[in-house]
Amino acid sequence: MKLFAVTGNPILHSKSPLLFQSAYPQSENEFCYFRLHAETAKEALQTFTELGLSGMNVTAPFKSDILPFATTHTPTAKTLNACNTLLLTKNGIIAENTDVNGVLGALSGAGIPIKNTQCLVLGAGGAGVAAAFALHNAGAQVVLANRTTHKAQAIAEHIGCAHCALDGLLQALQRATVIVNTIHPDVIDPKLLTAQHTVLDAIYPHPSLQKMAESKCSTYIDGMQWLLYQGFAAYHLFTKKEPNMAAMQNFAAQPVAAMPRHISLIGFMGVGKTTVGQVLAQKMKMPFVDTDAVIEQDCNDTIPHIIAQKGEAEFRKIEQEVVSKILEQSTPSVISCGGGVVTTPALGNLLHQKSIAVWLYAPLEQCLQNIADIASRPLLMQSDDPQTTAQKLFEQRKQMYAQTSWMLVNTKEKTTQQIVQIVYDEIDKLFAH
């Protein structure tokens, strides 16, 4: 089982990692893809290493910060001084940049010719540099425009294209047939847009520019297409398989309103799901449900006793029935799940489909330190060596947590309030648009 993640600050209503989410694996050659929240590039790489991930997509603001952690940089990543794809190989970590594929794919997919085309790129940040580099190498005549003229000039000289200041756009706009926008503020006078222009807008959602371009220009391409095409290239690097482009396109078109509103917290025993869940539910003004507590109440018995008397398999049946009922409720809840909930494949799939599943992750040592009473953990107490048993369970469940989750949050060295704020902010971004 190969695990891949996306880290940084993905936009697209935070749906991007789900574009590649696989079903439960039928063989060791299959893989899954999930989102990894990190505060810094260093934290992202630490989690990457601890989990033994096979690859990772990197978004702003980590595209440059992540480079020093890679063993090898491809020529494209070197030239752009930015990486959006990390691949773990037996020779180390390779840094690649597939944003060039995103730009060219989005335009080609819309039927826009590139060679000898006059292109204007707005913004000299990471996305703008990638766009200018990609278009110039594909044979386009490129002008790079930026607020800071000397920055645009330095980058343009490095790439081999032309440059101009934002306050001198008139001539560049009159010549251009393709405009690539990578900056938030609208710097284009609507009167200057004509039917000769195609606009590729890397900033999304960006309704003001979209409305303006759609009313004036021949073609408007939103940043979703850029994201998709760079993702197709990353997918191929990761899996050595051709992506199902139609399926990914269809998923990307799914409205956010159609996404589930239950929030489920999954993760290994001792990671703090119940504590975080209670505070998160209070902050989000949602009911809190602890699945273990519901099972004990329904069975009028403790979970250790249920497992001791009936066995783990019977307990998992009870757990599946209880969690399924909770997920069917129309009122959204914050749900703290038992550590082994993902070991029932159908239940893992259900949590993935009917909830926003957040994987609270911490290294095994921290999880075990947080368990005050090992005797309350029957799966550990059945063994003569609880530490070794915990390690085996931890390794077995990693891929199951990854397959089920929408996002991973590394709880190491974070307070409950910090973890809650991270989850709250990410979910707020998910539904902000």
Instruction: Enumerate the active-site residues.
Output: 63
Query: Alpha-carbon Rg of the chain, whole angstroms?
Result: 24
Alpha carbons 224 and 221: distance in angstroms, whole number: 8
168 has which bridge partners? Answer: none
Q: Report CA-CA distances (Å) from 412 to 49, 162, 183, 326, 334.
A: 14, 47, 35, 29, 22
Cβ atoms within 10 Å, residue 339: 21
Helix (H, G, I), strand (E, B) or coil at 289: strand
Task: Please state the φ and ψ torsions of residue 187, each to the nearest 5 degrees.
Answer: -100, 0
Structure tokens at 103: 């730009």
Structure tokens at 159: 């790439």
The DSSP letter of residue 358 is: E
DSSP code per residue over 162-185: EEEEGGGHHHHHHH-SEEEE-SSS
Task: Please state the φ and ψ torsions of residue 94, each to the nearest 5 degrees.
Answer: -100, 130
